[in-house]
């Protein structure tokens, strides 16, 4: 099936290069008008420069699309609001938000400075919060919206030396899980992307073969799908190298104790508690407690 985004207005953050650039070009190729946002600077977030966003916007225009460049710092809610106002003033609406902006300040947790930890959270987590908050009411009022948060395998599964990055990326899954519930009746669908791609974030840890296999362009079809009219709601879509997978947060059926459990008994039965046979995917948080109460009552009756 073909996907058309004609008439849609998209904001892509961190779109001056790498994945963001690829996402912006892909959305434009499918007909969207794009705000190309990038604060610029080094990958640690220092020494900002807005030239990259302008180059990508020019690429889109040269290919026959519509785009404007924007240099807002997503860690500033005021600047983000100005960016959204710019899009609405220019094109009358915002339909799509792709939160891609990010920085890296990798160190082991023992050596990590807390200021660096906070800086990573401010861009990845709060930057995504700011952008989502700025478009949320306009999307609700128009009865349509697509929001994509960029998570990561470092958050979903962990990665040595990336405690700050991993914490921010997993937090975005939690944010998605609530916003997809709150936005559903207003036609706003919220999803997470977990990409594997060779960008300047990874250019010092990948060899030439890996760089070729993990081109950003191989990830962007996933973004287009999550921004389409037929997009799902509340999923973690993984993408890289032309392969696409889905990650889940699941709940095992567990073990029910008769009476009060002791810590030792939990350790002794941890293998049974961890047994994934018949595991569940709760639609929302309260379903965990509902399962536990039902299972507890059944254990008492038995």
Angle between helix axes 163-183 and 127-142 (nearest 10 degrees) is 10
Residues 6+ away with beta carbon under 8 Å from 80:
72, 74, 127, 130, 131, 134
CB 255 within 8 A of CB 272: yes
Closest-CA residue to 14 (of 49, 47, 53) = 53
Band the pLDDT of 6: cuts 50, 70, 90: very high
| CB neighbours of residue 57 within 10 Å | 25
pLDDT: which is higher, 202 or 228: 228
**Predicted local distance difference test score (pLDDT) of residue 42:** 58
Q: Using one digit for the tens of pLDDT, what is the confidence trace for 122-168?
A: 999 999 999 999 999 999 999 999 999 999 999 999 999 999 999 99
Residue with tokens 């026959």: 64
Task: Flag whether pLDDT at 48 surpasses 80.
Answer: no
* Secondary-structure percent of the chain, ordered helix, strand, coil, rounded to 5: 45, 15, 40
Q: Mean pLDDT across the chain, nearest whole number? A: 92
Candidate list 144, 157, 165, 186, residue with the active-site label: 165
3-state SS track over 67-118: EEEECCCCCCHHHHHHHHHHHHHHHCCCCEEEECCCCCCCECCCCCCHHHHH
pLDDT tops 90 at residue 240:
yes
Average pLDDT over residues 13-28: 97
Cβ neighbours of residue 259 closer than 8 Å, sequence gap 6 or more: none
Helix axes 163-183, 114-121, angle to 10 degrees: 30
The domains located in the chain, with CATH, are 9-247 (3.40.50.720), 263-301 (no CATH)
Q: Do the beta carbons of residue 259 and residue 206 sit within 8 Å?
A: no
Instruction: Specify whether 165 is catalytic.
Output: yes
Does residue 46 register a pLDDT over 80? no
Instruction: Point out which residues pair with 11 in neighbouring strands.
Output: 35, 97
* R_g of the chain, CA atoms, integer Å: 21
Alpha carbons 102 and 174: distance in angstroms, whole number: 18
Q: With cut-offs at 50, 70 and 90, classify the pLDDT of residue 198.
A: confident
């Amino acid at each position: 099936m073909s996907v058309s985004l004609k008439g849609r207005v998209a904001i892509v953050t961190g779109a001056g290069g790498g994945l963001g650039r690829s996402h912006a070009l892909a959305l434009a190729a499918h007909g969207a008008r794009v705000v190309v946002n990038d604060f610029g600077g080094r990958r640690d977030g220092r020494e900002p420069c807005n030239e990259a966003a302008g180059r990508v916007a020019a690429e889109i225009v040269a290919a026959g699309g519509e785009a404007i460049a924007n240099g807002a710092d997503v860690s500033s809610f005021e600047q983000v609001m100005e960016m959204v106002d710019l899009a609405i003033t220019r094109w009358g609406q915002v339909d799509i938000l792709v939160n891609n902006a990010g920085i890296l300040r990798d160190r082991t947790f023992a050596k990590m400075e807390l200021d660096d930890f906070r800086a990573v959270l401010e861009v990845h987590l709060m930057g995504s919060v700011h952008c989502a908050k700025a478009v949320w009411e306009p999307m609700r009022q128009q009865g349509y919206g697509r929001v994509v948060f960029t998570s990561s395998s470092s958050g979903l599964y962990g990665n040595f030396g990336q405690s700050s990055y991993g914490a921010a990326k997993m937090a975005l899954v939690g944010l998605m899980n609530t916003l997809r519930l709150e936005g559903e009746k207003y036609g706003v669908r919220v999803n997470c992307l977990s990409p594997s791609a060779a960008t300047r974030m990874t250019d010092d840890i990948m060899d030439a073969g890996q760089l070729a296999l993990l081109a950003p362009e191989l990830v962007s079809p996933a973004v287009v799908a999550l921004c389409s009219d037929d997009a799902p709601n509340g999923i973690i879509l993984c993408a890289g190298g032309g392969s696409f997978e889905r990650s889940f947060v699941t709940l095992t059926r567990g073990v029910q104790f008769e009476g009060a459990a002791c810590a030792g008994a939990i350790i002794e039965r941890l293998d049974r508690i961890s047994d994934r046979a018949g595991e569940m995917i709760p639609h929302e948080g309260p379903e965990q407690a509902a399962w536990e109460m039902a299972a507890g009552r059944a254990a008492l009756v038995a």
